[in-house]
Amino acid sequence: MESEIKIKPPKAAKKKSNFRKALQNRMLFSGLVILAIMAIISLFAPLIAPYNPYEIDPMNRLQSPSLAHIFGTDDVGRDVFSRVVYGTRISFFIGIAVAFVAGMIGLIIGLLSAYFRILDHILMRIVDGIYAFPSILLALAIVAVRGPNVSNVLMALIIVYIPSISRVVRSAALVVKEQTFVEALIAQGANKWRVLVIHTIPNIMSPLIIQVTFVFAIAIITEAGLSFLGAGIPAPDPSLGNILFDGKNVIHNAWWMTVFPGITIILLVLGLNTVGDGLRDTLDPKIVHAKRKSKKRSLKLGGKK
Amino acid sequence: MLKYTIQRLLQLIPIFFVVAVVVFFLAHLTPGDPVTVLLGDEASAEAKAELRHELGFDLPLYTQFTQWISDVFRGDLGESFFLNQPVTEVFFNYLGPTISLAIYAQFIAIVLSLLFGVIAARRRGTVADQAVTGFSLLGISVPSFLVGLFLILLFAVQLQWFPVAGYQPLSEGLLEHIRYLTLPAIALGMMQAGLITRMTRSSMLDVMKTNYIKTAKSKGLRENKITYKHALRNAFIPILTVIGESFGTLITGAAVVETVFNIPGIGQLIVNSIERRDFTVIQGTVLLITVTYVLINLIVDLLYGAVDPRIRLNKKK
């Protein structure tokens, strides 16, 4: 009992300081705010969008931004704001779906190859092979061949981003595997699967989460790129990429069709990237460690003076 | 060095094998019958059977694969259904603009980021430093096609300094060539510029802390001489790494930017082939670009080994 009491307080204190650090990190905080706003917009899209994003209104083609249409209207009279809201929703959905599924599959592949030698040789060769493709090119080719629709875009993006996650998981798991506590567990006769699931997964969560956030961001960019190239979400469904594609044809007289969806993409990706960077700063023990070390060193120097 | 080179070359074999398998199966990923997709629903059964035979789709899968691989090794990537030309010929017809664009973009990226990176490192913590950091974060975050669209809006539609889109080959004169390629090259170079700026800044900061810089300062050398002659030179290897790594991404990035500016390069070829459902061209282009990408990365890697012996030793371990 006593030892339990002794152990608990520092643990709780550490957690609290981590959480506080996360809030203190200005970058992480502002990124989270941007993302929260975007998430609310995409969650409540039907309530926020003032018009039906599919409703064509030929009388009001290419209207510049006004009170009735704050982002203007597009080349067939649809409300650009409503389309951007729904486009954000699709981008968010694709980002989350790709990050989640690729994260899960990547986790499994990474863990298996870290702990099973034979699987390592096979899985990692395949992963390296897919990793060798420039990602947007492979995604483009898969969607081109399968035909552009949401499920094919999802499939392509998941295939393309599994390798980066499984590589991170594998190398993190290899580090955990070498640690004394795992050796001790194995010496005690612990089952390999038990070590893998109960002891390895919690210890590789930080790098996994960081990598998944980056995949989230890059999946959104890639989807926008694919839709812009005509190999993503097909019309008339709104996606940030295909609004830009429509906007490109009328770029001479309708700047709003480029500027508003463009800024939305920038905000989304900037938010995700700052969250990713912020998470890395707070979660990555190496950086925290280095910072503490440098703090100690500067204290020492101060003492000398 | 020789051992390291051979090692790296051997590592390529499984990678290329997987790449080849993936590219081969791309053509078999079509939902339903690829022959029907190519000929349309109304085509007669005989026409379909003939095309199927012509394409080798009636053979078992592994025979198709071995045949395809041996063709690839002989430099035969098949023939475009639409253009009735060998895929390699089509590819090289479209390659020129892409390479021009990639080189120009890399040039812009390097010039901008060395300038910005050094300024930020010398004035660490000032407004200039924050502006540069913001610039590089934007450069890394904003996809190149979007930068391209914004550049068109500002410099082509509003200010009319540059043409909105299009391409003039080098044979039309260097000035015209550059005039048409400037906006696309900036759009493409932004991400590279962001990455290289970041690296230049941090690498310069590291070097500036070293003792020999302190010595140079205490000797009373001029600030400029210290920055450019002593610090930048030694900060250069990590910068070179980022430049090298980014070269492969430039080639694929070029493909996307080309579509924004209607440049008749590889990107246009791919997008057109998607519209025409010209699978052999898609397959061949993806294969050629990926192989180029892998080889460029290998060459860059080997070059570091030659430039900096420490890298070679580290990798051996």
- Please give the pLDDT value at position A154: 94
Count the neighbouring beta carbons within 10 Å of the beta carbon of residue B21.
14
Partner B contacted by A129 (CB < 8 A):
yes
pLDDT band, residue B61 (cuts 50/70/90):
confident
Torsion region of A230: left, alpha or beta (phi above 0 gives left; psi -120 to 50 gives alpha): left
Instruction: Of A71-75, A166-170, B282-286, give the range with the top mean pLDDT.
Output: A166-170
Percent of chain A residues past pLDDT 70, beyond the cut: 85
DSSP label at residue B79? B
CB-CB under 8 Å, B282 with A141: yes
Count the neighbouring beta carbons within 10 Å of the beta carbon of residue B95.
18
Per-residue pLDDT, averaged over B74-79, amounts to 82
Per the listing, tokens 């070029």 go with: B254
Chain B CB contacts of A229 below 8 Å:
256, 259, 271, 274
CB-CB under 8 Å, A273 with B137: yes
Partner B contacted by A228 (CB < 8 A):
yes
Residue A295, pLDDT > 50, answer no
- Please give the pLDDT value at position A303: 34
**Span A258-293, pLDDT tens digits:** 899 999 999 988 888 888 878 877 776 555 444 444
**Span A165-203, pLDDT tens digits:** 999 999 999 888 888 888 888 888 888 888 888 888 888
B64's tokens: 């198709």
Distance from A1 to chain B by nearest Cα, in Å?
47
Torsion region of A62: left, alpha or beta (phi above 0 gives left; psi -120 to 50 gives alpha): left
CB-CB under 8 Å, A248 with B22: no
**Span A1-26, pLDDT tens digits:** 444 444 444 444 455 556 666 666 77
Partner B contacted by A140 (CB < 8 A):
yes
Distance CA B227, CA B21 (A): 50
Per-residue pLDDT, averaged over B181-197, amounts to 89
Distance CA B105, CA B189 (A): 5
* Helix, strand, or coil (residue B43): coil
Q: Which residues contact A176 (CB under 8 A, 6 or more apart)?
A: A182, A199, A200, A203, A204
Which residue in B has a C-alpha nearest to residue A241's C-alpha?
B146
Residue A34, pLDDT > 80, answer yes
- Interface ipTM: 0.81
Partner A contacted by B270 (CB < 8 A):
yes
Percent of chain B residues past pLDDT 70, beyond the cut: 93
CB-CB under 8 Å, B137 with A147: no
pLDDT band, residue B32 (cuts 50/70/90):
low
Per-residue pLDDT, averaged over B41-46, amounts to 76
Per-residue pLDDT, averaged over B77-84, amounts to 80
CA atoms within 13 A on the CB side of A37: 9
B79's tokens: 């023939």
Q: Which residues contact B135 (CB under 8 A, 6 or more apart)?
A: B116, B193, B194, B197
Chain A CB contacts of B31 below 8 Å:
146-147
Residue B304, pLDDT > 90, answer no
Distance CA A100, CA A84 (A): 24
Distance CA B207, CA A73 (A): 53
Q: Is the dihedral of CA B38, B41, B43, B47 positive or negative?
A: positive
Distance CA A255, CA B259 (A): 18
**Span A84-129, pLDDT tens digits:** 999 999 998 999 999 999 999 999 999 999 988 888 888 988 998 8
CB-CB under 8 Å, A269 with B252: no
Per the listing, tokens 């890697």 go with: B301
Give the range among A34-43, B115-124, B214-223, B308-317 with minimum mean pLDDT. B308-317
Chain A CB contacts of B294 below 8 Å:
132
pLDDT band, residue B57 (cuts 50/70/90):
confident
- According to DSSP, the residues that pair with A79 across neighbouring strands are A73
B13's tokens: 């074999």
Q: Which B residues in the span 103-122 are in contact with A, Cβ-Cβ below 8 Å?
A: none
Residue pair B187/B260 in contact (Cβ under 8 Å)? The answer is: yes
Partner B contacted by A84 (CB < 8 A):
no
Q: Which residues contact A245 (CB under 8 A, 6 or more apart)?
A: A227, A228, A229, A230
By the 10 Å C-beta count (0-12 exposed, 13-18 middle, 19+ buried), B235 is classed as buried
For testing the chain B interface, which of A30, A124, A137, A257 should be mutated: the one with the most B CBs within 10 Å? A137
Higher pLDDT, residue A249 or B317? A249
Three-point CA angle B116, B118, B123, nearest 5°: 95
Partner B contacted by A137 (CB < 8 A):
yes
Higher pLDDT, residue B272 or B42? B272
Q: Which A residues in the span 242-281 are in contact with B, Cβ-Cβ below 8 Å?
A: 244, 247-248, 251-252, 255, 258-259, 262, 265-266, 269-270, 273-274
pLDDT band, residue A301 (cuts 50/70/90):
very low
Residue B268, pLDDT > 70, answer yes
- According to DSSP, the residues that pair with B86 across neighbouring strands are B79
Residue pair B235/B207 in contact (Cβ under 8 Å)? The answer is: yes
Which residue in A has a C-alpha nearest to residue B143's C-alpha?
A221
Amino acid at A254: A
Per-residue pLDDT, averaged over B146-165, amounts to 85
The alpha-helical segments, DSSP class H, found in chain B are 2-26, 34-39, 45-55, 61-73, 87-122, 127-141, 144-151, 174-208, 211-218, 223-225, 232-234, 236-261, 266-276, 279-307, 309-316
Nearest alpha carbon to residue B98 among B243, B246, B264? B264
- Please give the pLDDT value at position B56: 72
Per the listing, tokens 């509003």 go with: B158
Q: Which of B143, B153, B249 sits opposite A134 (nearest CB)?
A: B249
Partner A contacted by B298 (CB < 8 A):
no
Residue pair A127/A167 in contact (Cβ under 8 Å)? The answer is: yes
